[in-house]
Each structure stands twice: as structure tokens, then as C-alpha cells.
Structure 1
């Protein structure tokens, strides 16, 4: 396990409920496209890795698949088991999955590669547990971030807050360009065939209160950074957040945040 992996475990510990009430709704958007790209059909053995609240697992079960869902965080597993009761939900994490070679007909990972220290190794592990010819489909956030995704980071920057030194970044040797070409190359390097990558664009509709609730509770790296600040700095971040929200609030008072993700898929 890398220092990045260990940091991710600490950041996400016991955060399932706060995540479900904030960022989880955003992350649900790619799920239908992800399952289509993986070719999910009735009777297929499907692995949903990094299942989070279990949205993709539930959707795959609804398609008639036999789903195994795993996550590295125990609170997520508890919530996913409620969301997708028909799935076999287990505690496990990339890049060391407790499954045999060729055990699944398809595998999906919705944003999980954003949270692993060795993305190439993680993809190679997904290829190992997927039968030859089976499809693997994964998503990540695009870089540079879309305007809506950048909102919280802009609030931190305006308040003079930067990433703390104790939060390790991905090792440069394990990183890759977060572009269509860069993501597709990552899958090809992991041994996948017939690789393709698309950009998904959507407007996430929420409220300023809901969008602030996740990081205010410590959800994700940005939430961890906010929670680690003194109270006056948190107040400054929140004031800048409130001001910046004006750029995205529509006439009905909804916060409309443009987002962009990359979805790549290929065959094992």
C-alpha cells in the first residue's frame, strides 16, 4: 500500500453517510453509461469495484446480473449492502482483490481510480479477474476540472489555503494525463484491448447547503483539508464559497454545477 492509499483510507474513514448526502448524487450520473460500456446483461458475473454507496451495483442487479461489489471503506460497505441487497457486498480494495483469475464476465469502477495509489496496477488486477474478452469500464474526473467541480477549490484558494504537506499526492511515476488520450493509454498499458475513452459532460443540480455539507463534514480530500483548518479560516472559506456560488445559482435558487468525467473501456 502506498502513502497515497493510506491517506485515502484515513480521509474516507466512516464518511459514507456524509458522502451519501452530498457528493454521491453527483457520482451517480455516469452509471448507466458505465454499465452500457461494460456490456452488462442478465446472468453475467459482474464486479463493481469501489462501489461506494452501491449505486452501480444496484443498477447492475436490476439488469439481471450476478453482482459482487467491493469497497475499501467499511461504512461504504454497510450502506452499499442496503442499497443493493441482491449483490454480494464485501470489504476489499484494489490492487489486491480476493478473487481468482477470470472470475467475472465484466468489471466496472466508477471513479475508484481517483483513489488508488497505483492506477496501472489496479487496472491490471481488474484484467486478471475478468475473463478473456470480458469488458472493463471505468471513470475518473477530467483535468482540468470543469467549472462546477472547481468551485470548492476556488473557495480554498481565495481563503489562502493550499494542500497540506501531510497529504501525499500520487507519485509522479504512477500518475497519467487525465485526458481522453491519457486515460485510454493507461488502459492499453494494463493490457486491455479495443480501448476507447469518452468525455461525459453534465450539469449537477444541487443546493449551496447540500454542496457545502459534504466538505464541511470532512468528505473527500477537500473536506479533510477544510476540517483541518482553524475556525476563522473555515469561516473565510465558507464566505468565499457563498460568494462564488452566485455564479452558478439559477433563478429558482438551485446550484447548477458543470462537471466533466472521462469514461474508458476495453476488453480483457
Structure 2
């Protein structure tokens, strides 16, 4: 399970870069907004500030506890995609900030999102482009440099992450006015703080680091420090996709 405090210090800050374009892609301010995979609430906070009625969902009770404490004005529900506990047409918009790349069944998830949106409702989703994710790939590179055997978890989303492929899935699910754009930025963060945030979050991709004996962990950290040093001033290059469509 992700550690909410570590996630908040690390990945939540990384994902905050895309919150504004994600909400902008939904068009005019929606009244009823569904925040998918809310994490510690970066999208929920921004949507509430815009005056939306926000329902935040996540599969992690610990994350939901954080959102409920920070944002008592939001409705908080546990849910694991592709199943959502809502009636047809419950929302004017749905936003998922880096959640679609984690689902087990992309077409079923898109069909479910189509179901819970009202006619004319808007959908916006972001995901990482794995080949341009220096901010996280540096950890895999450090493991390789430290000669630690590492097999990344399977990422089924890779098969559908290309813009044309994902746009086709949105169209097949019934969405219109579909578009996919690319977002690039620099994640400016102290490399030591980024190490702590990612490793202590204990996500499935890099929990292998936490399982290493002290001497091996020290070797991985030394390799990370060397590889991350060139990005200390300008930040880690990051690339993501943003897809949108109308029900």
C-alpha cells in the first residue's frame, strides 16, 4: 500500500503539474465532478476551488482518509476501476490524473466512465509516457548501475498508450470530440528529497529498493545520486499525455 505522507511529498507534487490543463480540458466549469484515483487530493483541491461539487474515489483507504480530512466539502468513496458505485449519468465531468495507466482493463474502464457521465459530460485523463520519464527512470537506471536484478512490474497499458491507439479506444467507448495532447515539463526537486519521496512511498515499481540489505541499498543510493546530479538545477524531464472527450 502506498504511504500517503511519502506519496504527498513525492508523486503528488510531480502530478500537480498537470492539474490545471486536466481541468481546463473539461471545458466550462462542471458542477458535479468525479476525481478518479484521487490520491492525496491535488485534483480535488483545485476543482473545489473552482466551485465544483467533487466526488473523490480511490482504491486506498489511507488516501481517502487524507482527502476526507483535508477537504470535508468533498464526497469521498472507495472504488477500484473498472467498477464505480454510481448511477448512470451521475456526473457532469470526470478527471483522472495518472490513474488510467494503472487499471487492469482499459476498454472496460472507459465504458464505465461513459456510463457515469451525463450526455454531453466531459472526460479528461492523463498518463505517463514511459520512454520519457527521466524522473522515475533514474531509479531503474540506478538499480542497473548497482547491478541489482530488477524486473519492472508488467504494464499492460503500454499496449494502448500511443495517442492514436488511446483515441481509438475513447471513440469505441462512445466518446466524441476526442483529442490527445502531449505535456512536457521539468520536475524541479531536490534529488535527495525525490529519492526519499519515491522510495518511502513503496509503490510496486520500486519497492524492490526497500527490500535490499543495507550495503546494497547504499550502493543503489550512490548510483542514484550520481545519475540524478545533472538534473539538480534544471529538474528532471517529464512527459505525459492528456486525453479528452465528450459523452
TM-score tier by shorter-chain length is: over 0.9
Structure 2 counterpart of 1:213, from 196, 215, 218: 196
How many residues are treated as equivalent by the alignment?
Answer: 247
Map of 1:121 onto structure 2: 108
Once the two structures are TM-superposed, the CA of residue 175 in structure 1 deviates from its matched residue by 4.8
Conserved in 1, the CA contact under 8 Å of 2:178 and 2:244?
A: yes
Map of 1:169 onto structure 2: 154
The equivalences for 1:173-252 within 5 A come to 175-250=158-233
Structure 1 counterpart of 2:19, from 16, 19, 31: 31
Map of 1:261 onto structure 2: 240
Conserved in 1, the CA contact under 8 Å of 2:202 and 2:210?
A: no
| RMSD, matched Cα | 1.9
Secondary structure at the aligned position of 1:217 is classed as helix
The reply on whether 1:91 has 2:74 as its aligned counterpart is no
Conserved in 2, the CA contact under 8 Å of 1:55 and 1:80?
A: no
What's the TM-score once normalised by structure 1's chain length?
0.86
Conserved in 2, the CA contact under 8 Å of 1:143 and 1:178?
A: no
In 1, Cα distance between equivalents of 2:217 and 2:127: 28
Once the two structures are TM-superposed, the CA of residue 203 in structure 1 deviates from its matched residue by 0.6
In 2, Cα distance between equivalents of 1:20 and 1:249: 20
Higher helix fraction (1 or 2)? 2
Structure 1 residue runs of 5 or longer lacking an equivalent are 1-12
In 2, Cα distance between equivalents of 1:188 and 1:161: 42
In 2, Cα distance between equivalents of 1:152 and 1:40: 39
Map of 2:135 onto structure 1: 148
Deviations 1:177-232 (A, max 9, x none): 42322332232232211110000011111101210112331432233121122322
The equivalences for 1:31-50 within 5 A come to 31-41=19-29, 44-50=31-37
Once the two structures are TM-superposed, the CA of residue 14 in structure 1 deviates from its matched residue by 4.8
In 2, Cα distance between equivalents of 1:233 and 1:40: 52
In 1, Cα distance between equivalents of 2:75 and 2:101: 24
Conserved in 2, the CA contact under 8 Å of 1:37 and 1:265?
A: yes
Deviations 1:92-145 (A, max 9, x none): 121111000111011000001122111221111111100111110000001312
Conserved in 1, the CA contact under 8 Å of 2:22 and 2:124?
A: yes
What's the TM-score once normalised by structure 2's chain length?
0.93
Conserved in 1, the CA contact under 8 Å of 2:180 and 2:241?
A: yes
Flag the 1:139–1:238 CA change in 2: closer, same or farther, 3 A. Answer: same
Structure 2 residue runs of 5 or longer lacking an equivalent are none
